[in-house]
C-alpha cells in the first residue's frame, strides 16, 4: 500500500476530513478542523499511516461554512438526484418545478447562476445557461456531496458567489471486488434501479456506478375553479427516462504517481410540465451530458505534490414544444494544473492555473458556432501558526473576455477555548471547544454564453458580476458524556454583489441582459447537532435554520425595478431537522423542512405561501449466505400530504412512497 | 433530555416563522356606480398571473388584483380582454382558453366559458343573449374563427369562419366588423343570422377599429411583419401600416393612407371623447411597445413616427370617454408594471403600479 509521507508535512486536519468516522463528521456546518485532527496534527509519526489523499481544496477555505452529506445519507438517496438529497436533508431552498423537473438552488439569497457546481474539481455549470439543473445530476455517480456556503471564487472560480456544490468521486482502494444492485419502485409510476461495482488491486482500482429512473408523475392536485375546487391529474410531467453511468479507473504508477480516468454520462428525456391554468404546449426536453476527466497526481517529494487534469465535456439540451424546436450543444475543454508544497511544518502553499474553452452550437445565437476562452491562475495558502489558530489566504486572477477580476479570500479560525492537550491518546476529551470563524472573500460570475450571444437581446458588452462578502461565526463542540457529542454553530454573513445581471426590457423595450443593479444579501445560519452512540444504538439529530435577506441595494437608472425590493424565490426563513437512528440491522430516518413565503417575481407583490414537509424512512439489513447483504428500505415524502407549490403554478407531489431493495456483495 | 426540549421549541419557532406571509388580503376598493377604470393586466405567458386592477380616478384608490381578492383564485393566463354588458364583465384569458364571467358591481364570479375555446382574443356582446369571441387557435392562427357564446348558459353554441387571426371586433349599424390581423381583410357579419355578409379588403394586418363622431369606421392596419431566420425583423419586406376609413352603411372602403415608415406597426386605435381625434400606438415588432400618436379625423396627413404625441413606449392604451384622460401601460412584465395617466394634452399626470403587462383599460 502506498504511504503518503507528504501528509505529515501538510495539514493533518484536512487529510482526515473525508476519512473520519462518517456519522460524526457528516454535515458539520463549519469547515473547522475537528478536535481529533488538531491533536493528530501534532502526532506526526502516526500520520504516515494515513492513506494517500490529496489535500482537498476545502482545506484552504478556513473560516467559511460547509455542509456535507455523509455516505449513509447519500446511500439513502442512491436512486435519486442531488436536488432531492439537498432539499430533504439541508436547509437549502431549491425551487423545483416538480419531481424530475428543473430544480435550482438559492444559496445565501443568490440565484442559480451564483452556485458553482464542480465535479472532481472542475466546473460543470452549463456554459450556455451558466447554471445546473440539479434534477439532472443523479447521485449514484458520486461518492461525496458537499456545499460550500458563501463566496469562494479564489477556490472555485466563476459562479461561486452564493456558494459552490462539490461533487466528487473517489476510487475505492479496499482490496477485492464488491458489487451492489438496487431496485426502486415508488408512487406515481416511479421505477428505477442502480448498480455499483468496484474492484481494486494494489495498483489498480476500478469502480462503475450506473442508475436508471423513470416516473409518470401522474398525481392529482386540487385547483380552485368556478363552482369550487376541482381535482385534476397532472399530465405532461413524465420523466420518460433518466440514466447515469459513471466509470472510474485509477492506476498507481511506479514511483509516486496516480493516474485517474473518470467519466460521467447522463441522459434524461422528460416532459416539461406546463403551469396549471395555462395551455399545454407539450414541451419536452432531452438533456445529455458526457464528461470525461483524466487526472495525474504526482508526489514529487515528501513535501511537494503536483496534479494535472484534462477534461472534455459535451452538453446537449434539446427542447421542443408545439411551437418551438430549440437545440443546443456545447463542448467544453478544460485543463488544470496545480502544485502543492509544504512550507515548514505549519503552512501549505498551492499554486495553479486553469483554462477553459467553450464551443457552442445554439440555433438562437444566429451563428454556427460561438466560442469563448477563460483562464485563471490561483495561489492558496494555509497557515496554522499554532494549533488553535488556523489561517488561509487565497487569490485568483481570472482572465475573461470582458474583464479580469482579481478575487482574494482570507479566513481565520481560532479556538477561543480548547481542551488542554491530552497525552498521546485519541480518547475524547469531555471538555468544550469554542471556535471563532471569520472569512472575507471577493467573488465573480462570468457572463454566460446565452447572456452574450442570444438572439435577440444578447449583450456582448456585459461585465462579470463581482461580489464582496464577509462572514463570521462561532462553533461550540462538546461531549457531555462518553456517548454524546454536541455541536452548535451560528454564522452571520453579508455580501454585496455588484453589476448584477438581469434580463429586462431597455428603454427601447427590447429584452436584454444588462448589469443593472447591486444586490445585498445578508443572513444568519444556526445549527445544532447531537450524536449519540451506545452499544448497538446510533442516534443523531440535527436542526438547522437560515434567515436570508436579499434585496436590490442600488439600482442603475436603467433598472426597471426600483431599489429596495426583495429578490424573487428567496425565502426569508428555511429550516431543516433530521433524525437518524440505527440499532443493529435497523435504521430509521426522519426529516422535516420548513420554507417560508417566497415572492415569485421582481415586483415583490405576488408570493407563494410557506410550507412544511415531513419525510421519513425505515430500513432493515439482512445478512444472506455468500457474503450478500440485503437492505430493504421504505421511504415516504410529504407524509402530512400538504398541498404546496415549490414553484408557481407547479403543484408539488402529495404523499408518496418509495420502496427499495438493495443486494450488496463483497 | 434537555436536547429534545430544545429541539421541540426550535421546531415550533420555525413553524411559526414559516407560516407568516406578507399581507394576504389586498385592499378591495369596491366597484363604484360609475367612474371605474379596470386595468387589464395580461400577465406573463405561461404563468397564469394575469389580473384586473381596479382604479378609482376620484380618490386614486387601486386594487391590484380584483378578481383574486373577490373570488380567491387567479384570473388566468394572458388576460387579453375585458368587455362589459348588462352588469356582467367577461374576462378573456387567452392562454387558459377560457372566459371568466363576473357580475358587477361586486365582481363575483358567476360562471366561466371553458370548453371549445382555443386561443380566445376579444369578446363582443352582440345581443342580450349572444356574445362573439375571436380566437386564433395557436399563434399561427390554426383555429381562426369566431365562437358564438350563449350568454345564459355560457356555452359555445356555434362558430363563424373569419380570416386569419381575427382580432378586435365592433358592432356598427347592426353589423359586426372583425379585423383579420393575419390577412388584409375585415369580415362583416350579420349578428341576427350569424352569417358573413361580406369581406372588405383594407390593409395588411388590420388590428383595431373605431367609429368617429360622424359614424365613419376607422381601421388601423399594422402592416405585415416579416421575421428573418435569426429572429430579427426583415424591414426590406415588412410592409408599412395603413389607416383605412370605411363607410359602414355602404360596406365600402372610403379612404386608405399609408404610413411613411415600416419601422413601427400602428396598433391599438382609440377615439377622443368628442369623437374627432384618433389616438393609437405605433409598436416595435420585437417589443410590442411604442409611443402614442394622435391625429384629427379631418387631418390630411398621417403623423410621422419621428413626432409622437406621447414619447414613452407603451404596451397598453386607453382614453377615458368622459374626461379624455389618456391611460398608458408599460410593458416590462417584471412582476408589476406601471399605469401612467396623461392629460388630454399629452402631459403626464401621475402613475401607479399595476399588474404585469397592462394591455388595455375599460371605463365603466
Binding-face residues of B in 74-133 toward A, CB within 8 A: 74, 76-77, 95-97, 100, 109, 111-112, 119
pLDDT at A256: 86
Q: Exposed (0-12), middle (13-18) or buried (19+): which is A392, by Cβ within 10 Å?
A: buried
pLDDT at A26: 33
pLDDT tens digits for B97-142? Answer: 999 999 999 999 999 999 999 999 999 999 999 999 999 998 889 9
A545:B288 CB<8 A: no
A560:B332 CB<8 A: yes
Whether the predicted pLDDT of A32 surpasses 50: no
pLDDT at A71: 84
pLDDT at B34: 83
- Indicate the residue of B11, B119, B333 with minimum beta-carbon distance to A577: B11
Whether the predicted pLDDT of A323 surpasses 70: yes
Q: Which residues of A touch B140 (CB under 8 A)?
A: 323
Q: What is the dihedral of CA A248, A249, A252, A258, to 10 degrees?
A: -50
Whether the predicted pLDDT of A49 surpasses 80: no
Q: Number of A:B CB contacts under 8 A? A: 149
Nearest to B42 by CA among B50, B33, B34: B50
**Average of pLDDT values for A492-506?**
95
Q: What is the dihedral of CA B245, B249, B250, B256, to 10 degrees?
A: 0
Whether the predicted pLDDT of A244 surpasses 50: yes
Q: Strands B51-56 and A389-399, how do they pair?
A: unpaired
A568:B335 CB<8 A: yes
Q: Which residues of B touch A648 (CB under 8 A)?
A: 47-49
Q: How far apart are the first and last CA of chain A?
A: 20
* Band (A45; pLDDT cuts 50, 70, 90): very low
Q: Which residues of A touch B97 (CB under 8 A)?
A: 279
pLDDT tens digits for A562-575? Answer: 899 999 999 999 99
What is d(CA A34, CA A68) in angstroms, rounded to the nearest whole number?
14
* Band (A13; pLDDT cuts 50, 70, 90): very low
Q: Strands A163-168 and A115-119, how do they pair?
A: parallel
pLDDT at A560: 86
B77:A366 CB<8 A: no
**Average of pLDDT values for A110-114?**
96
Sheet with B290-296, strands from edge to edge, namely: B265-271, B277-283, B290-296, B310-314
For residue A167, the SS3 value is strand
| Minimal CA separation from A494 to chain B, in Å | 21
What is d(CA A636, CA A337) in angstroms, rounded to the nearest whole number?
45
User: Please, which residues bridge with residue A13 across strands?
Assistant: none
Whether the predicted pLDDT of A37 surpasses 60: no
Which residue is closest to B113 within chain A, CA to CA? A226
Q: How many CB atoms lie within 10 A of CB A368?
A: 8
| CB B138, CB A322: distance < 8 Å | yes
Whether the predicted pLDDT of A654 surpasses 60: yes
Exposed e or buried b for every residue in B23-40, given b needs 16+ CB within 10 A? eeeeebbebeeeebbbbb
A224:B112 CB<8 A: no
Establish if B250 touches chain A: CB-CB under 8 angstroms. Answer: no
A577:B286 CB<8 A: no
Nearest to A152 by CA among A226, A91, A64: A64
| CB A145, CB A164: distance < 8 Å | no
Q: Which residues of B touch A607 (CB under 8 A)?
A: 21-22
Establish if B335 touches chain A: CB-CB under 8 angstroms. Answer: yes
Q: Which residues of B touch A322 (CB under 8 A)?
A: 138
Whether the predicted pLDDT of A187 surpasses 70: yes
Q: Which residues contact A583 (CB under 8 A, 6 or more apart)?
A: A536, A537, A538
| CB B317, CB B328: distance < 8 Å | yes
Interface test with B, best of A230, A605, A609 (most B CBs within 10 A): A605
Q: Which residues of A touch B115 (CB under 8 A)?
A: none
- Indicate the residue of B21, B48, B332 with minimum beta-carbon distance to A277: B48
Grid cell, residue B282, equals 405605433
Establish if B227 touches chain A: CB-CB under 8 angstroms. Answer: no
More confident residue, A16 or A180: A180
Nearest to A22 by CA among A90, A85, A75, A71: A71
pLDDT tens digits for A348-384? Answer: 999 999 999 999 999 999 889 999 999 999 999 999 9
Record the pTM. 0.89
pLDDT tens digits for A519-528? Answer: 999 999 999 9
Whether the predicted pLDDT of A52 surpasses 50: no
pLDDT at A76: 86
- List chain B residues with pLDDT less than 70: 1-20, 23-29
Whether the predicted pLDDT of A15 surpasses 60: no
pLDDT tens digits for A629-646? Answer: 999 999 999 999 999 999
| Minimal CA separation from B149 to chain A, in Å | 18
pLDDT at A430: 61
| Minimal CA separation from A515 to chain B, in Å | 16
A74 membership: H or E segment, kind and range = helix A71-76
* Band (A267; pLDDT cuts 50, 70, 90): very high
More confident residue, B138 or A219: A219
pLDDT at A6: 37
**Average of pLDDT values for A392-404?**
96
pLDDT at B170: 97
pLDDT tens digits for A293-304? Answer: 999 999 988 899
pLDDT tens digits for A270-293? Answer: 999 999 999 999 999 999 999 999
Q: Which residues of A touch B96 (CB under 8 A)?
A: 277-279
Establish if B23 touches chain A: CB-CB under 8 angstroms. Answer: no
* Band (A16; pLDDT cuts 50, 70, 90): very low
**Average of pLDDT values for A208-218?**
97
A541:B7 CB<8 A: yes
Which residue is closest to A511 within chain B, CA to CA? B287
Amino acid at each position: 500500500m502506498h504511504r503518503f509521507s507528504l501528509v505529515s508535512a501538510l495539514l493533518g486536519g484536512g487529510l482526515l476530513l473525508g476519512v473520519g468516522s462518517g456519522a460524526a463528521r457528516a454535515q458539520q456546518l463549519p469547515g473547522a478542523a475537528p478536535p481529533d485532527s488538531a491533536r493528530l496534527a501534532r502526532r506526526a509519526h502516526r500520520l504516515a499511516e494515513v492513506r494517500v489523499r490529496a489535500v482537498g481544496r476545502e482545506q484552504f477555505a478556513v473560516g467559511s461554512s460547509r455542509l456535507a452529506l455523509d455516505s449513509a445519507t447519500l446511500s439513502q438517496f442512491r436512486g435519486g438526484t442531488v436536488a432531492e438529497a439537498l432539499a430533504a436533508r439541508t436547509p437549502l431552498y431549491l425551487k423545483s418545478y416538480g419531481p424530475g423537473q428543473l430544480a435550482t438552488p438559492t444559496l445565501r439569497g443568490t440565484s442559480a447562476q451564483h452556485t458553482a457546481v464542480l465535479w472532481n474539481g472542475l466546473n460543470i455549470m452549463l456554459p450556455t445557461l451558466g447554471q445546473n439543473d440539479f434534477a439532472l445530476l443523479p447521485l449514484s455517480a458520486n461518492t461525496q456531496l458537499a456545499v460550500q456556503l458563501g463566496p469562494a471564487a479564489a477556490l472555485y472560480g466563476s459562479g461561486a458567489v452564493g456558494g459552490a456544490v462539490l461533487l466528487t468521486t473517489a476510487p475505492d482502494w479496499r482490496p477485492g471486488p464488491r458489487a451492489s444492485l438496487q431496485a426502486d419502485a415508488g408512487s406515481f409510476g416511479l421505477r428505477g434501479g442502480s448498480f455499483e461495482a468496484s474492484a481494486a488491486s494494489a495498483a489498480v482500482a476500478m469502480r462503475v456506478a450506473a442508475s436508471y429512473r423513470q416516473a409518470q408523475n401522474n398525481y392529482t392536485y386540487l385547483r380552485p375553479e368556478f363552482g369550487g375546487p376541482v381535482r385534476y391529474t397532472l399530465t405532461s410531467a413524465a420523466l420518460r427516462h433518466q440514466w447515469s453511468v459513471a466509470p472510474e479507473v485509477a492506476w498507481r504508477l511506479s514511483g509516486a504517481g496516480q493516474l485517474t480516468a473518470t467519466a460521467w454520462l447522463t441522459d434524461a428525456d422528460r416532459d416539461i410540465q406546463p403551469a396549471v391554468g395555462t395551455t399545454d404546449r407539450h414541451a419536452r426536453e432531452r438533456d445529455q451530458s458526457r464528461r470525461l476527466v483524466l487526472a495525474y497526481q504526482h508526489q514529487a517529494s515528501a513535501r511537494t505534490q503536483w496534479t494535472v487534469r484534462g477534461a472534455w465535456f459535451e452538453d446537449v439540451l434539446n427542447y421542443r414544444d408545439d411551437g418551438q424546436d430549440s437545440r443546443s450543444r456545447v463542448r467544453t475543454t478544460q485543463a488544470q494544473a496545480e502544485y502543492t508544497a509544504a512550507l515548514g511544518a505549519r503552512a501549505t502553499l498551492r499554486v495553479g492555473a486553469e483554462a477553459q474553452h467553450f464551443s457552442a452550437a445554439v440555433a438562437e445565437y444566429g451563428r454556427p458556432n460561438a466560442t469563448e476562452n477563460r483562464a485563471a491562475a490561483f495561489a492558496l495558502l494555509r497557515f496554522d501558526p499554532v494549533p488553535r489558530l488556523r489561517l488561509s489566504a487565497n487569490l485568483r486572477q481570472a482572465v475573461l473576455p470582458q474583464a479580469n477580476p482579481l478575487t482574494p479570500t482570507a479566513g481565520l479560525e481560532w479556538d477561543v477555548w480548547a481542551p488542554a492537550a491530552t497525552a498521546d491518546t485519541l480518547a475524547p476529551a469531555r471538555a468544550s471547544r469554542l471556535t471563532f470563524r471569520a472569512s472575507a472573500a471577493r467573488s465573480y460570475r462570468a457572463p454566460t454564453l446565452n447572456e452574450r450571444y442570444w438572439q435577440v437581446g444578447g449583450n456582448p458588452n456585459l461585465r462579470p458580476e463581482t461580489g464582496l462578502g464577509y462572514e463570521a461565526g462561532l462553533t461550540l463542540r462538546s461531549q457531555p458524556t462518553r456517548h454524546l457529542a454536541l455541536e452548535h454553530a451560528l454564522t452571520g454573513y453579508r455580501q454585496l454583489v455588484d453589476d448584477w445581471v438581469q434580463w429586462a426590457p431597455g428603454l427601447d423595450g427590447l429584452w436584454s441582459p444588462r448589469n443593472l443593479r447591486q444586490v445585498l444579501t445578508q443572513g444568519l445560519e444556526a445549527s445544532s447537532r447531537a450524536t449519540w452512540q451506545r452499544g448497538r444504538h446510533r442516534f443523531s439529530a440535527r436542526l438547522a435554520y437560515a434567515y436570508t435577506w436579499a434585496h436590490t441595494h442600488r439600482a442603475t437608472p436603467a433598472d426597471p425595478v426600483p431599489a429596495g425590493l426583495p429578490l424573487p424565490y428567496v425565502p426569508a426563513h428555511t429550516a431543516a431537522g433530521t433524525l437518524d437512528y440505527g440499532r443493529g440491522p435497523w435504521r430509521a430516518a426522519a426529516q422535516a423542512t420548513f420554507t417560508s413565503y417566497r415572492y415569485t417575481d421582481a415586483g415583490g407583490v405576488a408570493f407563494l405561501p410557506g410550507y412544511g414537509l415531513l419525510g421519513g424512512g425505515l430500513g432493515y439489513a439482512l445478512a444472506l449466505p455468500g457474503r450478500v447483504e440485503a437492505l430493504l428500505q421504505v421511504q415516504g415524502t410529504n407524509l402530512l400530504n400538504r398541498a404546496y407549490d415549490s414553484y408557481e403554478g407547479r403543484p408539488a407531489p402529495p404523499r408518496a412512497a418509495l420502496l427499495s431493495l438493495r443486494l450488496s456483495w463483497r | 433530555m434537555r436536547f429534545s426540549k430544545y429541539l421541540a421549541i426550535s421546531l415550533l419557532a420555525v413553524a411559526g416563522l414559516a407560516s407568516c406571509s406578507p399581507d394576504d388580503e389586498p385592499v378591495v376598493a369596491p366597484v363604484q356606480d360609475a367612474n371605474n377604470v379596470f386595468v387589464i393586466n395580461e400577465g406573463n405567458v405561461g404563468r397564469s398571473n394575469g389580473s384586473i386592477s381596479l382604479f378609482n380616478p376620484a380618490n386614486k384608490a387601486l386594487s391590484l388584483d380584483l378578481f383574486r381578492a373577490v373570488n380567491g383564485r387567479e384570473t388566468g393566463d394572458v388576460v387579453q380582454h375585458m368587455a362589459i354588458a348588462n352588469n356582467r364583465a367577461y374576462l378573456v384569458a387567452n392562454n387558459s382558453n377560457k372566459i371568466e364571467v363576473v357580475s358587477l358591481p361586486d365582481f363575483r364570479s358567476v360562471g366561466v366559458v371553458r370548453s371549445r375555446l382555443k386561443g380566445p382574443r376579444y369578446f363582443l356582446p352582440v345581443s342580450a343573449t349572444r356574445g362573439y369571441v375571436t380566437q386564433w387557435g395557436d399563434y399561427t392562427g390554426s383555429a381562426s374563427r369566431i365562437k358564438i357564446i350563449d350568454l345564459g348558459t355560457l356555452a359555445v353554441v356555434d362558430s363563424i369562419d373569419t380570416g386569419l387571426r381575427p382580432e378586435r371586433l365592433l358592432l356598427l349599424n347592426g353589423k359586426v366588423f372583425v379585423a383579420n390581423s393575419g390577412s388584409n381583410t375585415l369580415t362583416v357579419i350579420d349578428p341576427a343570422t350569424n352569417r358573413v355578409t361580406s369581406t372588405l379588403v383594407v390593409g395588411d394586418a388590420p388590428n383595431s377599429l373605431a367609429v368617429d363622431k360622424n359614424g365613419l369606421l376607422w381601421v388601423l392596419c399594422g402592416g405585415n411583419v416579416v421575421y428573418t431566420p435569426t429572429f430579427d425583423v426583415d424591414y426590406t419586406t415588412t410592409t408599412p401600416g395603413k389607416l383605412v376609413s370605411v363607410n359602414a352603411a355602404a360596406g365600402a372602403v372610403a379612404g386608405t393612407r399609408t404610413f411613411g415608415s415600416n419601422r413601427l406597426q400602428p396598433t391599438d386605435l382609440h377615439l377622443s371623447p368628442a369623437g374627432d381625434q384618433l389616438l393609437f400606438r405605433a409598436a416595435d415588432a420585437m417589443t410590442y411597445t411604442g409611443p402614442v400618436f394622435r391625429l384629427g379625423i379631418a387631418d390630411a396627413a398621417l403623423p410621422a413616427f419621428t413626432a409622437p404625441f406621447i414619447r414613452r413606449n407603451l404596451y397598453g392604451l386607453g382614453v377615458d370617454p368622459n374626461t379624455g384622460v389618456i391611460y398608458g401601460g408599460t410593458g416590462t412584465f417584471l412582476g408589476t408594471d406601471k399605469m401612467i395617466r396623461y392629460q388630454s394634452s399629452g402631459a403626464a399626470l401621475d402613475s401607479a403600479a399595476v399588474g404585469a403587462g397592462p394591455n388595455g383599460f375599460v371605463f365603466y
